[in-house]
Structure 1
Amino acid sequence: MKRLLASLFLFGWLVSAGAANPVVEMRTSEGPVMVELFADKAPKSVANFIEYVKSGHFNGTIFHRVIDGFMVQGGGFDAAMRQKPTRAPIENEAKNGLRNEAGTLAMARTADPHSASAQFFVNLVDNRFLDYPSRDGWGYAVFGKVTEGFDVVQKIGRLPTHTVNGMQNVPEQPVMIESIRIVDAVPAKSTQQ
């Protein structure tokens, strides 16, 4: 909890100082993907994601749900389809004005709007029905966007899938998230509108 509060303070200070949004490199078994994280628009979601990055949580996880023409989801399971433990869920920030457009990252959650923890997804197409206010009145909080390597994400989206232990749309060959690390920052004003 102290680490999350410290991260929120840091991101709040960065945003108020007009500083930059963090950029992370996601190394996958299909290739690298660069992502700008919108700390200026989704500070809690970004702080949460950064804490998982710093702890190494994502290293060795897989994209466990892949639906071509929709999205690819990862960050919660290892290659044996064992769910990794997570910290407490975070508040839903879908009211931040960002849209679930092709290439954006959003927090995955259950039917409970405030249940997002470590899992995230990358939209393969514009999924406006996931924007605030969605059918459940909340939506799915966008917190970043792929800036390089969207072709890698699209390739993952086209992989053949099957059902494993009752979970549908699991790639037949595991797609690993080998690592995610903070690499740079860009001016906060570049955030999509």
Structure 2
Amino acid sequence: MKFASVLTALILSVAANSVAAQDTAPSPADRPANPQAVIHTSLGDITVELFADRAPVSVENFIEYARSGFYDGTIFHRVISHFMIQGGGLTEDLQLKPTREPIVNEADNGLTNTRGTLAMARTSHPHSATAQFFINVQDNHNLNHRGTSNSAAWGYAVFGQVTEGMNVVDDIRFVDTTAVPPHSDVPTVPIVITGVEILPANPG
């Protein structure tokens, strides 16, 4: 009988602690919401959610460039209709704007390059991304992180998702393009980013 009483008390204690833990654990509604951004372009606005919870370095980097006005007057300089649209680094006369130091590659964050996601553009070096980004217009699983053995395996870091204005992205993807050496796939009529506006986080 004494053993049974002790066992019952132990069970009640564990249950009480479990309830207390549930009461103190943050609910999804209590977690910090991700910031939003509007990419204003000459063809319309593209609203995105920035995944600060999954790609904090890339998101902070993007926000700093946006708030400094760096993206104002840059263009989508590389448009491939069944791949992606890339911009945020060149002016209308295809001059490369000076950037800050590169950031670490966060492609191993579990996010994938699916249609409508934003990812950091980079050179052949895995950790070379600065200001340029691209929007996937289809699922590009070959760009996902697969390891660290080489540059291709590292992949491209996804840091955002289009929430409104995918019709604008599709309008951009199908514009006429041409080669302007050393660049290829350049829109014949410049698609200008007039600014990137950072909005308060959307609580959901």
TM range (shorter): 0.7 to 0.9
Q: Deviations over 1:40-67 (max 9, x none)?
A: 0000000000000111000100000000
Partner of 2:191: 175
**Larger Rg: 1 or 2?**
2
Identify the residue that residue 157 of structure 1 maps to in structure 2.
Answer: 173
Matched, 1:127 2:143: no
Q: Which amino acid aligns with 1:160?
A: D
Q: Does 1:143 align with 2:156?
A: no
Partner SS for 2:108: helix
Task: Map 1:21-170 to 2 at 5 A.
Answer: 21-133=34-146, 136-170=152-186
Q: Distance in 1 between matches of 2:153 and 2:141?
A: 13
Q: 1:186, CA displacement in angstroms?
A: 2.5
CA distance in 2, matches of 1:82, 1:167: 11
**What SS does the corresponding residue of 1:25 show, helix, strand or coil?**
strand
TM-score, with length taken from structure 1? 0.86
Report the count of equivalent residues: 172
In structure 2, runs of 5+ residues without a counterpart are 1-29
Question: Unpaired runs of 5+ in structure 1?
Answer: 1-16
Matched, 1:184 2:200: yes
> Over the residues paired in the alignment, what is the CA RMSD in angstroms?
1.3
**TM-score, with length taken from structure 2:** 0.82
Which amino acid in the other structure matches residue 68 of structure 2? S
Following TM superposition, by how much is the alpha carbon of 1:166 offset from its aligned partner in structure 2, in angstroms? Answer: 2.1
Query: What is the CA distance between 1:185 and its match in structure 2?
Result: 1.3
- Could you list the structure 1 runs, at least 4 aligned residues long, displaced by more than 4 angstroms after superposition: none
> Percent identity of the aligned residues?
54
How far does residue 109 in structure 1 lie from its aligned partner after superposition?
A: 0.3
SS at match of 1:182: strand
1:20 positional shift: 1.0
> CA-to-partner distance for each residue in 1:108-163, whole Å, 9 max, x for gaps?
00000000000000000000110001772200000000000001011100001001
Q: Following the alignment from structure 1 to structure 2, what is the Cα–Cα distance between the partners of residues 178 and 137?
A: 34
By percentage of residues, which structure has more strand? 1
